[in-house]
Chains A and B, each alone.
Chain A
Amino acid sequence: NAGVTQTPKFQVLKTGQSMTLQCAQDMNHNSMYWYRQDPGMGLRLIYYSASEGTTDKGEVPNGYNVSRLNKREFSLRLESAAPSQTSVYFCASSYDRDSEAFFGQGTRLTVV
């Protein structure tokens, strides 16, 4: 019962480097989301995918791109990392828009 799996769990990047955060769910969920959590800010939505083949911007999309590779997988890419992108990133999925969201364990990213 893996649920939502994120890789990697930790990453340190230098400013300007690129990387992709991977997320996969095995619950046959239609909707997937990427959030970031910063101290004192709660979780903020970066991008979401309501269904396979669609993606939309959330509250803080700048500096990120996403790919809904298939129904199971939703990746988040940082093309040129900046220190402001130091955060904990959470992927989530839900069966549909009305269902509760299940979260992965998070990826702690530090950009130096």
Chain B
Amino acid sequence: DQQVKQNSPSLSVQEGRISILNCDYTNSMFDYFLWYKKYPAEGPTFLISISSIKDKNEDGRFTVFLNKSAKHLSLHIVPSQPGDSAVYFCAVKPGNTGKLIFGQGTTLQVKP
């Protein structure tokens, strides 16, 4: 059973517009959420995170929103740039083990 789901395998947006990537999770006990970005032939790199005590965290062009009642989080990229084209993974860090549970990933293409 997939505990973290990214239901959109791909997303295409125009440069300068907003990209919205979505993620759903099943366990209401999860309390720390992360987004990783992955380019081809590279390992994932940490992008942004949010704790369950917040509903929004912003870092430059990247904002993560958390809706605990819906068990849903989203990553907004504004404005989108061609260099943002990559696979984006949503992840949760349950408990205090350091382990990560990943979603399936969403491939974002930003067209010039």
Known: A4-B43, A100-B49. A42 touches B104 (CB 8 A): yes
Known: A40-B104, A100-B34, A100-B49. A31 touches B98 (CB 8 A): yes
Summarize B's interface: helix, strand, loop or mixed: loop
- Report whether A105 and B97 are in contact in the complex, using a CB–CB cutoff of 8 Å: no
Question: In the assembled complex, how far is the CB of residue B59 from the closest CB belonging to chain A, in whole angstroms?
Answer: 13
Give the A-B pair count, Cβ closer than 8 A.
Answer: 62
Please name all residues of chain A whose beta carbon is closer than 8 Å to the beta carbon of B6 when the two chains form the complex: 42
Within 8 A of B (CB), among A42-99: 42-45, 48, 50, 58-59, 90, 92, 94, 96-99
Please name all residues of chain B whose beta carbon is closer than 8 Å to the beta carbon of A96 when the two chains form the complex: 98
Among the listed A59, A90, A99, which residue makes an inter-chain contact with B43, where contact means beta carbons less than 8 Å apart? A90
Interface string of B33-56 (1 = CB under 8 A from A): 010000001111110010000000
- A-binding residues in B (CB < 8 A): 4, 6, 9, 34, 41-46, 49, 89, 96-105
Beyond known contacts A45-B99, A99-B98, A100-B34: 9 more, CB 8 A cutoff: A33-B99, A40-B104, A42-B89, A59-B101, A97-B97, A101-B98, A104-B43, A105-B42, A106-B43
Question: Which 3 pairs from chain A and chain B are nearest by CB?
Answer: A103-B43, A97-B98, A42-B102
- B-binding residues in A (CB < 8 A): 4, 31, 33, 35, 40-45, 48, 50, 58-59, 90, 92, 94, 96-106
